[in-house]
Structure 1
Amino acid sequence: MGDLCNVLMCKRILASQTNTEEGVPFYKIGTIGNAPDAYISKELFDDYKTKYNYPHKGEVMITCAGTVGKCVIYDGKDAYYQDSNIVWIDNPSQCISNSFLYHLLAKVDWRKLNSTTIIRIYNDDLRNLKLSYPQIEEQQKISRLLSFLDERIATQNKIIDKLQSLIKGIRNDVFGKLRKDIGLNAKVGDVLSYEQPQPYIVEDTEYTAGGTPVLTANKAFVLGYTSETDGIYDKGDCIIFDDFTLDCKYVDFPFKVKSSAIKILTAKNKELLRYTFEFLKYLDLSTDEHKRHYIAETQNQEFILPTTQIVRTIAHAFSTLSSRMQTIVKQRDMLELQKQYLLRQMFI
């Protein structure tokens, strides 16, 4: 790449030159592509932009430390960037279009740079990167297709975020009203039974492309898939609860787990299980203590237990919202799979 492009960076900004409230956004490796958490004065920005290197609109920026290889196309708005940790590809020849270059760099597996756990991209790594590219007209066609998929994926993510906010708002309204009208009249352990996960722990963590999902209760949820046929939990709907983080997930399909730090929770019927799951999400449980919580604390958590009809109505409403969320997430995941397939075919 060094035969066609230059690797440039901004002038160093000192911590004493930043503030957290106003001015020109100053992006670091953790904030680029998202909201800034630091700013520099307009006077300093204008001075440095005039005297030192500064990106042109459309050029590709890339993080070189932390989450390495995150690519962002500079949008032309006033902003400044952390030196050395964020660089951009100055591309005067335009033999490779910036949009095509973005997709090329976004596909690179930077973990292959070295065997250490801390990876850094150095300027020479970028300069020595070998690139294959078609004629500019073909680049533009490929870029338009991939950018279209990126836009669709971004739209789906926005829909997911809005639906998550809606569900959270409805949950807070519903249980806030029940808490006022009925009060805390039971305990979680009165309606949920728990089972230890040991019979369902996966033996081989070299996961396969398909098979039975291996689950965790935290954000990742599906860690991978296994071809193992023994020890599959297939008793119906349940809640998996992380004993240490207090995260929980509603599960309605057969699965295995990776960790013994899971409790498998069930109720006498699906409606009560869904209702109780939504109540646990309403509580927004969290902890800084590294210990097991369910038996000693969570099952003794005070609980709102209304009439069977109210439980059924609330469970049905949240099940409908959950199904809608699953559909939107599947649509997003299919778009991502389409993009990955195209990338594999285009950039072998």
Structure 2
Amino acid sequence: MTDTENNKNSNSPVSTSAPSLRFPGFTEPWRRIRLGKIATFSKGAGISKDQRNENGKPCILYGELYTTYTATNITNVISRTNLPEDSLIKSVANDVIIPSSGETAEDIATARCVLKNDVFLGGDLNIIRLNNDSGSFLCYQLNGVRKREIAKLAQGVSVVHLYKESLKSLVVSIPSIDEQSKIAYFLQLLDERIATQRRLIEDLEKLKSSINETLYETLTTDCKTSFNEIGIDYGGLTGKSAEDFGYGKPFISYLNVYQNQVITDYNFDNVEIRDGENQNKVRTGDLLFTLSSETPEEIGYSAVYMGNAKELYLNSFCFGIHIQESEMVYPPYMGYFTSTTYFRRKIIPYAQGSTRFNLHKPSLMNIKFSLPAKEYQIKIFNTLQLLTDKISTEIELHNRYIQQRIYLLSKMFI
């Protein structure tokens, strides 16, 4: 029996089993114990976004756990505040912080370890101050095998709350401090490698964008054209309900168009197409646009389809243009051209709406724009496509690191 099941009034933990994956030299069983027996609990004090000041002292706000501090350990604090110190709560290095409220039970189960002293901790943060154990190790456990258990402790409907009394009752598995430190250090190295991989991808994306902009500005001509002159537009799927999706024929989703500049034969969703239905099909070389967005700046994102599917359809919130092969246009290049600042500035004024913005398709089709000579379009496309392929490789490597991390969190803890 565990400490929580058989010995609720005792401070002596009960030894149990150990995880299936351990470092050599560690053989002692792990102990299971209530979190309240190995830590003290408190809450942070309110700091709002508008109370940040770059000349103040370091602070962590509740919302930053989801946006800024995505790694388990917080080593560099971004925000600062000039609020009076006597009204705030300071960290002690090794503190574990976890939200005390959130929109969903899953979101609230997000723990971070603060590795610095004297950082002001904002409101809506539970502070777990361990007596002798590793905060970093505890965070990896809370974010991994304990995540669902923490979510079950959350209370509420539209807004969920996580109270310190509930956290005190959470049962955790603890090895020796030496084993805790070794596990935490190893996983931190993996987190740092994942962060490095993410920065590499971001830098490659910036490089690709910069090359795209520079080559367009350098090589473009004064000859103008429009989509009406070089292609024929068509709409996406019509007459579909939720029951039609999830099986059937492949179609290109809104997100696929939004996230890519060139689409090949992967990452398709499926939709039922019945006999006799009159639906438009996507062809190789078609330029695809999104029709709506939450902001004008995100209206009309586009990608060119360069796969070889014989029967492929398009999301109803998108439309396509069959680009005609001519002396003026190399269709594959158009996915990169429509992402240039030059073209984005032309398209944004045609966003219509207030809370939700829609692209006025007839206006888009009539926009006049300039292109590089076709021979340069081909060279630009080939150059950028090499970078796109490189980015895809790095994204795949990043995803494999993430999967490795998930696997280790499941095998190195109990």
* Superposition TM-score tier, normalisation by shorter sequence: 0.7 to 0.9
Q: State the match for 1:242 in structure 2.
A: 290
In 2, distance between residues paired with 1:205 and 1:127? 47
After TM superposition, give the deviation of residue 321 of structure 1 in Å. Answer: 1.2
C-alpha change, 1:201 and 1:256, in structure 2 (3 Å) is farther
Residues paired across the two proteins, number = 334
Matched, 1:11 2:67: no
The separation in 2 between residues aligned to 1:258 and 1:230, in whole angstroms, is 12
For 1:263, the equivalent position in structure 2 comes to: 319
What letter corresponds to residue 23 of structure 1 in structure 2?
Answer: G
The 1:143/1:26 distance shift into structure 2, 3 A limit, reads closer
CA distance in 2, matches of 1:143, 1:101: 9
Q: Equivalents in 2 of 1:296, 1:104: separation in Å?
A: 55
- Conserved in 2, the CA contact under 8 Å of 1:200 and 1:256? no
Tell me whether 190-199 or 322-331 shows the greater mean CA deviation.
190-199
Indicate conservation of the 8 Å contact 2:250/2:269, yes or no: yes
| Cα-to-partner distance string for 1:118-157 (whole Å, 9 max, x where unaligned) | 3333323322322234444443443333223211110111
Q: How far 1:322 sits from its partner (Å)? A: 0.8
Distance 1:189-1:22 versus aligned 2 partners, 3 A rule: farther
Give the Cα–Cα distance (whole angstroms) in 2 for the partners of residues 216 and 64 of structure 1: 35
In structure 2, how many angstroms separate the alpha carbons of the residues matched to 1:193 and 1:319? Answer: 25
What SS does structure 2 have at the residue aligned with 1:329? Answer: helix
Q: Which residue of 2 aligns with 1:278?
A: 336
Q: Cα 1:248–1:20, aligned 2, differ >3 Å: closer, same or farther? A: farther
Distance in 1, Cα, partners of 2:244 & 2:402: 24
Determine whether 1:106 maps to 2:162: no
Unaligned runs of 5+ in 1: none
Residue 82 (str. 1) matches residue 122 (str. 2): yes
Match of 2:382 in 1: 316
Q: Partner letter of residue 171 of structure 1? A: N
Which residue pairs with 1:68 in the alignment? 108
Q: Which moved more, 1:286-295 or 1:229-238?
A: 229-238
Summarize the Cα distance change of 1:63–1:281 in structure 2 as closer, same or farther, 3 Å threshold.
farther
Q: For each residue in 1:52-104, what CA deviation from the matched residue of structure 2 results, as whole angstroms up to 9, or x when unmatched?
A: 64222232222334453343321316542322x2233201131xx22211111
Q: Answer whether contact 2:94 2:129 (CA < 8 A) is retained.
A: no
Q: What is the CA-CA distance between 1:228 and the residue it aligns to?
A: 6.7
- SS across alignment from 1:93: coil
TM-score, length of structure 1 as denominator length? 0.77
Please state if 1:27 is matched with 2:60.
yes
Please give the alpha-carbon distance, in whole angstroms, between the structure 2 residues aligned to 1:78 and 1:137: 26
Query: 2:6 corresponds to which residue?
Result: none
**Partners of 1:279 and 1:80 in 2: how far apart?**
47
Relative distance call for 1:279 and 1:2 in structure 2 (3 A) is same
TM-score by length of 2: 0.66
Matched residue type, 2:218: K
- For the structure 1 residues 53 and 277, does the alpha-carbon distance in structure 2 shift closer, same or farther, using more than 3 Å as the test? same
Q: Which residue of 1 aligns with 2:226?
A: 187
Paired with 1:25 and 1:314, the residues of 2 have a C-alpha distance of 46
Secondary structure at 1:23's aligned position in 2?
A: strand
Aligned partners of 1:10 and 1:75: how far apart in 2?
16
Shift in alpha-carbon separation, 1:252–1:24, aligned structure 2, 3 A: farther
Q: Which amino acid aligns with 1:275?
A: Y
Question: What is the identity percentage for the equivalent residue pairs of Structure 1 and Structure 2?
Answer: 18
Provide structure 2 residue ranges, at least 5 long, that are not aligned to the other structure.
1-34, 70-75, 294-299
Greater gyration radius: 2
- In 1, are the aligned partners of 2:58 and 2:79 still within 8 Å (CA)? yes
C-alpha separation in 1, matches of 2:36 and 2:287: 53
What RMSD in Å do the two structures reach over aligned CA positions?
4.0
Counterpart mapping for 1:1-348 below 5 A = 1-13=35-47, 18-32=51-65, 33=68, 39-41=80-82, 44-45=84-85, 47=86, 53-66=89-102, 68-76=108-116, 79-83=119-123, 85-94=124-133, 97-107=134-144, 108-109=147-148, 112=152, 113=154, 116-178=157-219, 182-183=221-222, 185-198=224-237, 215-217=253-255, 235-236=283-284, 238-245=286-293, 246-252=300-306, 259-268=315-324, 272-282=330-340, 283-284=343-344, 286=348, 287=351, 289=353, 290-293=356-359, 295-347=361-413
